[in-house]
Chains A and B, each alone.
Chain A
Amino acid sequence: MGGHSEPSQIKSIIMDIRLPRLILALLVGAVLAILGAVMQGLFRNPLADPSLIGVSGGASVGTSIVIVAAGGAMLSPLAGLSMVALGAFIGGVITTLVVYRVATSSLGTSVTTMLLAGIAIGAIAGAFNSLLSYFSDNQMLRQISVWQMGNLGGANWQKASLMAALSLIIFSLLPSHAKSLNAFLLGESEARHLGIDVQRIKRQLIFLTALGVGFSVALAGLIGFVGLVIPHMVRLLIGPDHRALLPASALAGASLLLIADSIARVVVLPAELPTGILTALLGAPFFVMLLLKQRGEI
């Protein structure tokens, strides 16, 4: 090797490996961050995050089930990928609904209950994943564990284009809900008194969140804390108005994941770290800081 690559090799590295990975990192970062902002609005709580409340866990169970069920019988790459994405989506929808139902009473959504439900679902997801790992062969095991750590290393054009299609749906539908999300922050009954069809919008947003998180998990694995940290930082800078918060979060999320992935790629050369490890290392201390700050306010 030693720096004497042929121009054609360089072109191939850029076009077939780097570029799809870059696009995937940007899109996954943007989708996770914007959905983090949506969930925090929906739950009226700045601590809601897809990975924290179990949505990612549910999606990863869906992913594992599909990988194991497909077994050795690998379908064509695109069909296989779509099946995995579908599994992740269904897992994501189920967990989002369960957490929402458990945490929401007529008095509103309780944070404590929401986080506890997240822990319960996380535990179930963990147990399920262990169980599936136990019955997997080596190759499946490797696939599952790579997914769980969150890795953009497997990026290719198929993954990037699937993610692009999904991002298009999410980014075209979400901005129209920005005003409603602002009203949601007042409380559901207040939002209703402002003329907002709370039930319908809640359903749509939960569906979009599960779809986005599910796809992200299926294509890039469990990448935690982007959805928590980014909307927070953006809110500190420009305030909680979703009309600005949503697009700004998407931009910032895309940037963060791109930076994190670039670091993950070069920090332990010649090997590379799974991206999810890096975002968790950056995000978890930030989360603790938020908790301490909230304690101060209460």
Chain B
Amino acid sequence: MSIVANDLSLHISGFDLLRNIDLTIEAGKVNVLVGPNGAGKSSLLRVLTGEIKPSKGDVLINQQPLNDWSMQDRANILAVLPQHSELNFPFTAAEVVGLGRIPHNTGFAKDQAIIAEALALVDASYLQRRLYTQMSGGEKQRVQLARVLAQIWQPSDLGEQFLVLDEPTAAFDLSHQQLTLSIVKQLADRGVGVLMVLHDLNLAARCADNLVVVNGGTIEASGTPEKVLTKELIHQVFDVQSVIAEHPVAKTPLVIT
């Protein structure tokens, strides 16, 4: 099963933000979107997750049109982490993560167990009783990550699940970047379809099963990192000269600029 975008276009106030995009996000795969600023990555995420209606084309989740899903059912199979959070109220970390359990009726004890496990997974157990408003940017982002993980913690009878992350590693130090990548890989192994925007091409190359390059509102290239990341493409899309080497251990492409 998958999220499928058919011929998506998005026009807003005279601008073509997306043009004729066909894309398949398969369950059990890590899909990474890269592209320059203003390429349409965030717009694409917002259309794929139903926040904006496309001007043309449609989106199917597990073969059913996005809008045919009831809001509650959709929340059971699709969790979305935006780039910035507006949360400005002094919830504790555990309470924030607990919000991810709203779509479920698993009961208090089960929810508490999931909250604790999700916080532990993102290396934030020590934050459990701390107030969100007093955390650093990286801590807040980890707590938010734990929230969306808690939302799809258990498999759903409604079908394969998907996790959409918009630049999840932006506020993270090196070790938490690595941690995030290992978490999304684990999720993919469990059958969750992951779609995330990353800016760091090397991070993208390390974890992507499917790397999608977005530029000017269209998909410039997609496929395995080995296939997609070429000198020519990077010059064409980012206007940067580079050398493509091979990661000595992981054997993934290494972009050196």
Q: Select which of A193, A194, A239 is within 8 A of B90 by beta carbon.
A: A239
* Contact partners of A186 in chain B: CB under 8 A: 85-87, 96, 99
Q: Does B202 contact A (CB under 8 A)?
A: no
- Contacts A193-B78, A196-B71; is A240 near B89 (CB within 8 Å)? yes
Is the CB of B95 closer than 8 A to any CB of chain A? yes
Is A192 a contact of B51 with CB atoms below 8 Å? Answer: yes
A240 touches B91 (CB 8 A): yes
Interchain CB contact under 8 A, B51 and A189: yes
Contact of B86 among A108, A182, A192 (CB under 8 A): A108
Chain A residue numbers with a CB within 8 Å of B72 are 195
Q: Which of A123-154 contact B (CB under 8 A)?
A: none
Asked whether A297 and B86 contact (CB < 8 A) given A195-B74, A239-B95, the answer is no
* Neighbour of B71 across the interface among A179, A182, A197, A240, CB < 8 A: A197
Q: Which of A36-92 contact B (CB under 8 A)?
A: 44-46
B82 contacts A239, C-beta separation under 8 Å? no
A247 beta carbon closer than 8 Å to chain B: no
**B213 an interface residue at 8 Å Cβ cutoff?**
no
Say yes or no for B151: interface residue by CB 8 A criterion.
yes
Q: A185 to B78, alpha carbons, bound, how many Å?
A: 20
Q: Are B85 and A195 in contact (CB under 8 A)?
A: no
- A175 near B: Cβ within 8 Å? no
Partner of A192, one of B71, B89, B90, B99: B71
Query: B103, A194: Cβ atoms under 8 Å?
Result: yes
Chain A residue with the shortest CB-CB distance to B72: A195
What is the CB-to-nearest-CB distance from A159 to chain B, in angstroms, rounded to a whole number?
A: 35
Question: A187 touches which one: B73, B76, B87, B133 (CB < 8 A)?
Answer: B87
Residues of A within 8 A of B (CB): 44-46, 108, 179, 182-183, 185-187, 189-190, 192-197, 235, 239-241, 297
